[in-house]
Structure 1
Amino acid sequence: MKLKKIIALSTVAIMSLAMFTGCGSKETADNGEMKLVKDGTLTVGLEATYPPMEYIDEETGELTGFDIELAKAIAADMGLEVEFVQVGFDAIFAGLDADKYDIVISAISVTEERQETLELSDTYLANQQVIISAKDGKQITSVDQLTGKKVAVQVGTTADEACQYYQNDKGMEFELQQFDDMTAAFLALKSGSVDCVVTDLVVGDYYVNNNPNDYVKSCDNLTNEPIAIAAKKGNTAVINAVNTSLKSLIESGKTAEISKELFGEDLTKNIDSNLKNYDE
């Protein structure tokens, strides 16, 4: 798949702020009836600099990626319009809690902590944390080799949490550089200002496959973190509706179709639901 150019981060930030603050809200409650932020519209929070899951195509100016197509399909199956609300990932769950949008579809890895603080859908995509190194540089093949290195992550992600765990709980000494978006993290790796990037498998594979002369997946299976859709804690009505649509889309082959188009394989079936933490 040809790598699409990503629109400038500053433009995305401006769009994100405008959309985030401009969205109206209603209280969501689980009383057996699904209540939406906007009547007749499924509002979806996302962080739009995370290819191939969600990003802006510079040529068209449109949101694209796996999660975008999935959200459109879910809304259509539910008989609703869809509206996307862009927000920085470090604030995405706060916006959900404040009823700025109904759900978050933004490569949300399932963790034990998120299971306690969010309503999560059935998983829809296989995923794990991996290490991406420069093709012509020192290739990091294990967590132990992070010592003394400069490590890039996107702030607020499970990769960020894992690296902070290795530093704070395991006492590993390396320089952690937290970027607002993955595009900047991979540019830092390409320029040599960091030694590796820790990220989701689907994102790492995307950059490696589209830039085989620049990047290599040097270590995988750090975790097992399948991806799900998130709603505000207690809002089981919307998650139940989402799960019904997800099941329908999986059975019809729609999710497999989207996955094969973007990833070249179907990552939406035979998902390992057993979580593997980074300290196991």
Structure 2
Amino acid sequence: MNSLQRHITGLCLCFLTVSLTTQGQTSNVHYTGSTLSVVDAHDGRLEPAVGVHSRQIMRANREHPDMADGVGWTYNHAPMMAYWNQAFFVEYLSNPVGEHEPPAQTLLVRSDDQGKTWSKPMVLFPPYKVPDGTMKEGLPHVAKDLYAVMHQRVGFYLSSTNRLFALGYYGLVLAPKDDPNDGNGIGRVIREIKADGSFGPIYFLRYNHAYNARNTSYPFYRQSKDKGLVKVCEEILANPLYMMQMVEESDRNDPLIPLKKNYKAFSYYHLPDGKVVGLWKHALTSISADG
């Protein structure tokens, strides 16, 4: 067994001791405190912030899957949270045993009491069958009875019209050590989460280079009769900061990705003067003056 936990109120605490200095034209992000984390510990061995509560939202159970997610998969990873209409939503990806091991799916849990209790996981993006015969350039492996592996760094989008959408990404792993986020996957999908708890249909938002509406299992968003959904998808694609979170899985020459570097897990926030602070894995930072 393992558990999937989320520190609800602690999400923004990591920025409280980050400050900016300006010397001429140079701005940089640096840490001004003296407390250092222990990187080998899951919690950094840092003292919990006052007021933070830890809630277990799902506990995997291979022996009794009905007590967990219904399937008994034990690799549950990459939780992302949204708050909308007085409810918390957490999306996370799931594999039977380990990371980057197919099959994969993305699930959703919901809390209507400020995170105290959570719903049973619901399948948001189900396992996706990879066409037999699929290959990747430079690899000798050929797909046969294979399912995609999901990998996403961004999971929700709240539209300007107050509609909530979930996003996921179907990647390809043809062999051990292959990666789903190498720019050679299938594509990114989108689905509406409705106020009554139901889901809209799944659409592809953006394909990788080898895929299109003719060789994929879900329709392209432009085929939807829901004009509002089409507008939301265009809204997403026109948002550079949102698209930057898709850089790992996107085509390496995708024109909608602002910074075409293999940096991982982009997060950002705005400064009072309108500039944007960007942070990535491995302590990489940057500041943008034009959003």
TM-score by length of 2: 0.26
Larger helix proportion, structure 1 or 2? 1
TM-score by length of 1: 0.27
Higher normalized contact order (CA 8 Å, seq sep 6+, divided by chain length): 1
Structure number with greater Rg is 2
